[in-house]
Amino acid sequence: TARTATGGNIEAAWQALRDEAASCRRCSLYKNATQTVFGEGPLDAAMMLIGEQPGDQEDLAGRPFVGPAGQVLDTALGEAGIDRARLYVTNAVKHFKFTPRGKRRIHAKPDSGEIEACRWWVEQEKMLVKPKVSVALGATAARSLLGKTVTIGRERGRPIELAGGGVGWITVHPSYLLRIPEADRAAEETNRFVADLKAAYALA
Ligand code: URA
């Protein structure tokens, strides 16, 4: 296929993009973060997952979704019968934003300026990978994917035609599931999350 013939070029373009992102100064988050956490996964992936931003562990490891939220995600993908190794996984914002509290670094929400600044990278990743389906995990990712603020509850669980081609799919962020105190509701919401992932992957 044409894709195979140009595969080397895409790989090289992605490497160049990743290298460029390592010294990104599009917003000020680079100042306190350890490193840029770029997306990863096969460049011919049919589905892309977009998270919010790296957390504490991702910031240190330099890889997306390797901490607690990543564990929830991995479990959900497993239940949905999806192999994570077949997905391109990235974040809307590529530097960890936090507030220091003693020795700990507490997650801080990226603002609209930071999401907009970093959106450029996500768009570049999308242009290289050309996923059939892009799944936004949570409000920050949804804003990045759609270029506007949306309500998760209203937009989740159905295909959304994207301006740049492909289909968007909105669902909750895995760390939302970690914050639900009641076991019953947490299980219910987790099942919904798994169902969302499964339905999105069926379109990929
Ligand atoms: N949460 C995210 O949104 N992305 C990560 O990479 C880790 C946690």
Summarised one tens digit per residue, pLDDT across range 5-54 is 566 799 999 999 999 999 999 999 999 999 999 999 999 999 999 999 99
Give the tokens for residue 94.
Answer: 């590529």
Strands (DSSP E) found in the chain: 47-51, 88-91, 98-101, 104-107, 133-137, 160-161, 167-171
Tokens coding 70: 């990543």
Which residues are registered as beta bridge partners of 99?
Answer: 106
Q: Is 51 in the pocket of ligand 1 (CB under 6 A)?
A: yes
Binding site membership of 52 for ligand 1 (Cβ less than 6 Å)? yes
Is the model more confident about 111 or about 5? 111
CATH class of the 2-202 domain in this structure: alpha beta
Cβ atoms within 10 Å, residue 173: 22
CA–CA separation, 130 vs 105, rounded Å? 35
Per residue in 41-96, pLDDT (tens digit) is 999 999 999 999 999 999 999 999 999 999 999 999 999 999 999 999 999 999 99
Q: Is the CB of 55 under 6 A from ligand 1?
A: yes
Query: Whole-model pTM?
Result: 0.96
Report whether pLDDT(1) > 90.
no
Ligand 1 centre from 177 Cα, in Å?
A: 13
Residue 53 CB less than 6 A away from ligand 1: yes
- Residue 201 pLDDT grade (very low, low, confident, very high; cuts 50, 70, 90): very high
